[in-house]
Amino acid sequence: MGDREEVPSWRYYYQYMRENTPFVIYYPTCGGGDECISACPYGDKIWETRPMRVKLLGLGKETIRYRPVMVHPELCKRCMLCVQACPTGALSPKEKEPRHHWLRLLIEALRLPFKKRYGIRYVFRKEHRERFVRNNWPKARHN
Ligand code: SF4
């Protein structure tokens, strides 16, 4: 799926998540570090990263980036580790979706230094830094 025209907007996957899983992801505030996937005990069985057209945290132009999509929600145990690990608040249970996503991003960013399990050290782990680069600049993904 390399052609820009074939790659759906983030809105498509936002709706997919809303209709098919217990969660929503507001992709414009997702950083693409895949912290949710690595926190999930069934990470690669439940999640995939898919290409979609989206900005990076509202910056730059909308272009093709990879973002987490729950492809096997039936395997989810509702443990909420993925939600706890999300550093931006982009991922939330459907019934608790924030009304103001950018405010939520700000609050989560301020909380990050005080989070024990999924704080700054977790977010800046080597694997998340690498995934951040690969997911946001997908040409690097194929090198
Ligand atoms: S709730 Fe738990 S099992 Fe379900 S996707 Fe999140 S981390 Fe994985």
Give 5 Cα–ligand 1 centroid separation in angstroms. Answer: 32
Give 29 Cα–ligand 1 centroid separation in angstroms. Answer: 19
Give the range of the structural domain holding residue 13, as residue numbers without chain letter. 4-136
Q: What pLDDT, in 10s, does the model give residues 80-133? A: 999 999 999 999 999 999 999 999 999 999 999 999 999 999 999 999 999 999
Protein residue closest via CA to atom 7 of ligand 1: 40
141 falls within a domain = no
For the chain, how many structural domains are there in total?
A: 1
Angle among Cα 73, 76, 77 to the nearest 5 degrees reads: 155
Residues 6+ apart with CB under 8 A from 71: 46, 47, 48
Residues with CB under 6 A from ligand 1: 39-42, 46, 76-82
> Is the pTM for the entire model greater than 0.75?
yes
142 falls within a domain = no
143 falls within a domain = no
Write a three-state SS string for 7-46.
Answer: CCEHHHHHHHHHHHCCEEECHHHCCCCCHHHHHCCCHHHH
- The token duo for 31 is 């950083």
Distance of CA 80 to the CA centre of its chain: 14
Q: What pLDDT, in 10s, does the model give residues 38-65? A: 999 999 999 999 999 999 998 888 999 9
